[in-house]
Structure 1
Amino acid sequence: MARYEYRCPQDGCFEVTLPIGSAGPQLRCVVCGNAATRIFSTPMLARTPQSLVGAIDHARRSAETPEVVTRIPSRSRPARWRPARPGHARLPRP
């Protein structure tokens, strides 16, 4: 079963669940009975992770208006490695 979306000129969009491949180009509106035209929408858009949507939006914004840097960033030293447990520091290293 698949969901198909139709648009009625009077009542707007609605979805119907039909077997795959059985949806026609027109269907009767579930509210008023007028002819509704099948429309094609992007599938599973609501399941896109929010972090991915944010990254795509950020990339799109930075392509059009990149951030301007006024100074060179300071050099930061890499964090010193510390063992999770203090006893591990005394173990021989490979």
Structure 2
Amino acid sequence: MPTYEYRCPECAVFDLICGMGEAPDSTPCPSCGTMSRRKMSAPHLSIAGSAEFRLIDNSKRSAHEPPVVTGLPGQGKNRPAYTANPLHHKLPRP
């Protein structure tokens, strides 16, 4: 459900949760009862599922649950002996 912001001329800004398209243009303030108009505000878009969210989540998780290392990096069965990318052949060799 979307959250709509209203500005009371007497008090402050308050939020109202309504269905999309069902938010009234004005509503009484919950604290003083004065009619308050709806305020234009930026939408609160979620970043869940994005690459940025996964990076933040993995960074937080690695601080508390670091992965267990069983060997040196780069040694294993899954490492290819060479690359198939032709651009890598132009790189300087050690």
TM-score, structure 2 normalization: 0.48
TM-score, structure 1 normalization: 0.48
Greater share of strand:
1
